[in-house]
Structure 1
Amino acid sequence: MSFIKNLEPEFAALPDKLRATVIASLTKWDERVTELKLNVTQTPAFSTAIVKVWCSSLFVAESCIRKPELLADLANSGDLSAIYNDNSYAEKLACKPVETQAELMTKLRDFRCREMVRIAWRDLAGWAELSETLADLSWLADACIQYALDFLYQEACELRGTPLLSDGSAQQIVVLGMGKLGAYELNYSSDIDLIFAYAEDGVLQDRKETTYGEFFTRLCRNLVKVLDEITVDGFVFRTDIRLRPYGDSGPIIMTFDGMENYYQTQAREWERYAMIKVRQVAGDFKTGAQLMAMFRPFVYRRYLDYGAFEELRSLKAQITQELRRKDRMENIKLGPGGIREIEFIGQAFQLIRGGNDKALQIRPILDVLQLLGERELLAPKDADQLNQSYRFLRRVENHIQQYQDQQTHDLPTDPAVQRILAYSLDYSDWTDFKQDLDKVRAQVHEVFDQVFSLSKQDSANQHSQKIWACVADDSELMEHLKEWGIQDTGAILAAIKDFKHSAAVRRLTAKGAGVLDRLMPQLIEAMQQVANPDETLLRILGLFEAVAGRNVYLSLLSENPGALAQLIRLSSASPWICGYLSQYPVLFDELLDTRTLYEPLKKADLDEQLKVLLAQIEVQDLEQLMVILRQFKQLNVLRVAAADIMGAIPLMVVSDYLTYIAESIVGHVVERAWLMLIDKHGLPPVPSQFPTGLRHTHHPWRYTDNAAIGFAVIGFGKLGGIELGYGSDLDLVFLYDCLDGNAMTDGGKPISCAQFYGRLGLKVRHILDTKMLSGVLYEVDMRLRPNGDSGLLVSHINAYEDYLKNQAWTWELQALVRGRFIAGDAQLKEQYEAIRSRILSLPRDTESLKKEVREMREKMREALSTKDKDKFDLKQSKGGIADIEFIVQFGVLDQAALNVALTTYTDNVRLLEGLQQQGFMYKADAETLKNAYCTYRNFGHKQVLQGDKAVIDEAEVAEMSAEVERIWHEYME
């Protein structure tokens, strides 16, 4: 009794109503220890902990009284105070060989009891963090499953023979752990959900010619029996195999092919959610990797899947309805604000975005929540709150289950058990604990409500059915349309009917039709928020019809009122937005975040973002590269357009941003194309201009940032002038430099340098202008290269200078005024800029030059200008953009011999400033041309965003165009 007497201070700390029971129970254990003459190592920490553990867990107390040696062994071995790793349980089991299945069952149950006492003790005593407890429970299950499987498999092979793979090696099954086991989050008294599979079918060479399916089915039945059957020693783990394909009616085990066929063709939506946490826990891990890879595309769709919100919302509603029916709302797992709501929040974002963002393809919910907070998909404070709430709720769950080792998630109703639970969680009484628990659950449910829009959804559903049903009743819907500001109610009603009965809408699945039923009333009612409701609604109806086949985008808008509001706002201002989203619906997701939608990225940020995206792609994965590049461009052009439409950025900056996007893309295309070619053909010798002392074939500077690759991309026209518009193509010229065009590359498939750079140019062009389902990256025009379409695609830098000096037409020299290095080798940039400066600053006869420039402009005007009366073509009409550009180009070609500084810039605004400073042009004339040029470009951008050509009423710019025409006559005629 001396041991009990030493615990007086600990007993005094117990609640009064619990003290007598604990003392009596511990006295019984102490007597058994004395009776068996057991030695128990009693540290101060042990003595402090034993009272709390004994009080908190009837399971631990009864297990230790029944087998006093159990606790003695844990304490004396040091296991009670030790932190295990992922191999600890397997190593301990390996030291327990067994001979028969009966012995296996006994050994596993004894082992499980010992380790569950240890895990409960460390948790209840406060010696283990939640993460340790959950990991220990999962590792224990893994080890028991593998140990049992190894014995049963060996026994079965000895009896019937060994199933083989096609390569002749022994074939073992794959055991998959679902749910919390799969995520290393197993709770204390959890069952384990398992699915079994095997790689290849076949027949054993035994007397009965047993098929592999029969062999493995018996093996799996035995495994479930060993783990799940309740004997005098208890059980190992309650084992549930109902999550397998076809559930209870399906085979216990299937081949990989059978699995793949099921999940591709027949699996239900909830099975996707179940598969988020799937993990192989035992069996053949080599073949298992193939099976795990097969699940990924089933779970994580390639597109953004906002339908997951509705699916999870529906599943949660079913759970809640069942709990209400059974009067079990105080269930901390499934009830309001419980563990499942936190998991659903994380899983919703994983299912929606996991296909695009591989970082979200993870199992543990705490890791998911942290990532959602970092990505600001959840408000960081909400993510942190959910993280803390999850830890709290899981600790409560474990303590509920550790009391009697029962699989329950309901709060106790017995006042005595309530006191024990509160005490185990360090609360003075049940009331204090319940207040904190209710607060946590309320916070969780509030975030769940926000994410899944529950309260909004309920009211929207009632309203939607009423309004959308009105399409059949002309008079009632006409009244609604008038309320919402529609002007031409007859025309809009007809358009709505046409939309509802269109082929695209009729083809919708029941699920898609349900989404549309919720969305349309929200859309129509929101028309009262815009100044042009008729036009806006017609534009969006056209967009919805275009994307109806992918109802995930309609789900996005239905689930996110903010995104719908952004779409309406932008569509009201510009029909271009609807056309752009129709063409590239993957961009719908961008409507969710106004912080990024109206903030286009600067050049450095674009480069960094694209670098991260492309780092995930294999060097030779050309198709994926082109898809990622197209999505990157489309997304960033949308940001520029949205900011432009809403007036968040000025005209000059619009062109800057569009140019930055093109420059970033071209730079990365060159880099990737280079890596593809050197991967196949090896490196060419270093360029002629590179320092001789550094010409080492495999020097690392040649692999990054396009350094010393001997290749350059030159941009002309709007790209060169930093004046790109929304639909601009790219005028490009490719240059290269090498010592010897016949020198060979140093790879496994060597080719000459001339061939290498020719193929590099072809690859770059192919990546940029190949038409794919995701569109064209950029239309590429290369007619400005030497000899135009009949010339080489890639020109040697020396030949390029010779051509410009001796063969180029005047119009080609005019184009050179706006020629600018875009991407490639920095050494070539210097060479090109020196050549451009030399060519542009050659002395020229002013009158001859003026005549040639003027004649070229007149030919262009005759061929390209609009013939419509009272219409003004912003670029080609008299007094338009082309007149200004030709004046500037003439000025530079005429004056650069006198002032080489005129060759510094390529954009028309700064060139006009330079010509004025040079004395070529009066300041007033330069200001007039700058103002006209910017005004015309502003008109042009607006015309594009309104879905129109760059042609306006002549009267709108009559005075301005007359001034430009006057200046043209003064300087050019």
Structure 2
Amino acid sequence: MPGHALNADEARLAVVAASNALADFLRAHPESEPALTEDEDAGFARVRAAGPFQLNTAWKENLLRIAAADLTGAADLRATSDALSRLADAVLARGLDLAREEHPGPARLAVIAMGKTGAEELNYVSDVDVVFVAEGDLALATRQAARMIQIVGPATWPVDAGLRPEGRSGALVRTVESYTAYLKDWARTWEFQALLKARPAAGDLELGLEWLAAVQPFIWGAADRPGVVADIRDMRRKVADSVPAAERKYEIKLGPGGLRDIEFAVQLLQLVHGRGDPALRVRSTLEALDVLVAGGYLARRDGEDLADTYVFLRTVEHRLQLQRLLRTHRVPDGGEPLHHLARTLGYTTDEGFLAAWRAHATTARRLHEKLLYKPLLDAVTLVPTHELRMSESQAAGRLAVLGFDDPASALTHIKKLTAGVSRTATVQRALLPVVLHELADSPEPDRGLLAYRQVSDKLGSTPWYLRLLRDGGPAAVRLARLLGTSRYFTSLLLHVPQSLRYLSDNADLTPRPREELATGMRQAAARHQDATAAIGAVRAIRRRELIRIAAADLLGLLDDQAVGLALSDLTDAVLEAALEIASRGLADAPPMAVIGMGRLGGRETGYGSDADVVFVHSGETDAERRTAAKTVESVRTLLAAPTADPPLQIDLDLRPEGKGGAIAPSFAAYRRYYADRARLWERQALLRARPVAGDPGLAAAWTEFADGVRYRPGGLTEAERVEFRRVKARVDSERLPRGADPNGHTKLGRGGLVDIEWTAQLLQLEHGDAPGIRTTRTVPALEAAAAAGHLNAADLLSLREAWLFVSRVRNDMTLARGVPRDDLPRSGPELAALAQTLGYGDDTERFLNDYLRLTRRAHEAAQRIVYGA
């Protein structure tokens, strides 16, 4: 504002209208009226020349000048706050000069401005926060500092030295060495936060700069301390709780949606990211918002909204304080005080002001919650400060230490991601430290970084992508973890990277119900007349849902039972949509039902599972039988056709007569087969069969028929028990692949899934009338058998624990490799990666021991139940 010309009449009217206190001063001191329009240098000159009794008048004359420029629009908020802060510097300097005249001596003493004074954000009425640093005669320096406080406080603003080490109980004056020793050993998080705004303001400025240089490493190393983010969040809660509940809705500073909400969020971002980016080391809130946006740490829109809200709230604070030159942050609850405030802010009605205030408070609170509590901050603090400031050679070495097998390639990816001055590169520079650290903890960091670059290359120019990673809750951390853990997830995501939106919110990772999926697929297919295009739309939905399920599974949001249910529901919906598409326009099409068998029928589908099904129709003529067969072939072809979306292989081998039978038997033929020729194992296979798609009436009739076959009164005959054991022995001896380890095959090995499933199925065949045992699912069948007294508690525990654990292992092997696998890796990186994915860290031996122990117990239980051993 220096040299800015003001109209004297407008300035006087504006001051009188806005401030009763300054109007009273003008009436009592008419000689001060020229101060309304004088320049800054003249005003400060009177402060620097004032004696102890003239200091108050010189101060108020400067307040007149600053208020006049503010109220007439000649100065914006930044200029007003800056002028007030420079006035505080002049006042502090004069107060110290006067104190030294009373207590002369050679001590070096620097006055360090803190808080709003340090940030050059001072209000009209505020404490002036300071700390003192001295060299030489500390007793003399202490007397000078104490006397300065006594001179300045009553005449101008109160001077508060409470932010010094140990607070009001600590020494008023300290040396640089004493201050840094305190910061090293005793300082708490809020004290480092307070130092963000520190600057030398008066006295020995050279000493002040020495002090500032000495404390900088402590400020920007604070985020390396454990729990720093939680400490700042906790401090904000305490500040908010310090305001009485009845007063919070009127508070523009400490209450929800107040100034502190903005300041705490901004300061936390500075502390966390400023370790590696010196551009963030600024003191004022508005300047910090500017550099946070420029550096990509804050979305432009969020930065603009916060800046607008901050300016609004600070302006309201200024108008409140000007009225009587009293320190207040409380908006009046009505009457003339509220009318006065609204008018000085340019609002014609009280409601207009209150509506604007509510809107800004809502913005401040929303963005405070978004920024202060975003998981990316916690993740960034896990990255040591020194890793944010490395040369290329140091970075390569550090990447090797972190576990990247090819640091040179990793550096190439990093350079490509961060090259240039675009906003995309800027935001990537902010994100990559977190991404790299998360990848370093994953089984395949190199592959994960490559995938991250591929996703970024595809979406980097998409406005929402980097905004999601920076601001979308846990999205960035989750994406890195998933890309470094699962080839299956990565391959799915690279074709539809837009699906990573799911990662920001747990609600988006909840598997969709079967009916919702079926409806969506039906609607998507209806938009296409061509069958290939229609099934393409269905398969695209399936891919997105597989991404959702795999992500939720890997992030621990689903247990293995829930994964099986979700994958089965998805397959059911796909089969229903495919059957409708394949039946379009076919003459002589009979009612058809699709019967899920095996893991699909048991709602225990894994990531690598085929769809074991049987198609049944109610047609009677040759034309209907041909149409049914054509429909089945069409379904099988459409779902298996090579496209960018993963295929769903249809397995029809469990139909009557197996591979030699009709691919679409009629219901009548199906019934005849089971009445005349079906073997025991085929009755057993029906225990896991359920209708999954097609005609509801036919499905109900089939279920009634199947129940009569699989759940026969009286259980098995002795001959059937012998047959069951004979077939089970053949499965154990003949179906295990050549060279496979019988102790490490998740499906056919000892204590593997087949062992446990056959045990459950034997109990169902023997006790089909037991309550709850008529289920197609393995664990519920075992639990029902135990509840009915047909399985002891110890065996139930052994079988259930093994089934859940082995299912988890089998799914994780598919997720990790991207292709189905049944045999455990015996050693090396694959075993280490599997153990890590399962939560064992580097302890592969403990994982193998757990696997062998659980499967051994399950095998022993299965042997006792099946063979009576």
TM-score for both structures, normalised by structure 1: 0.44
TM-score, normalised on structure 2? 0.48
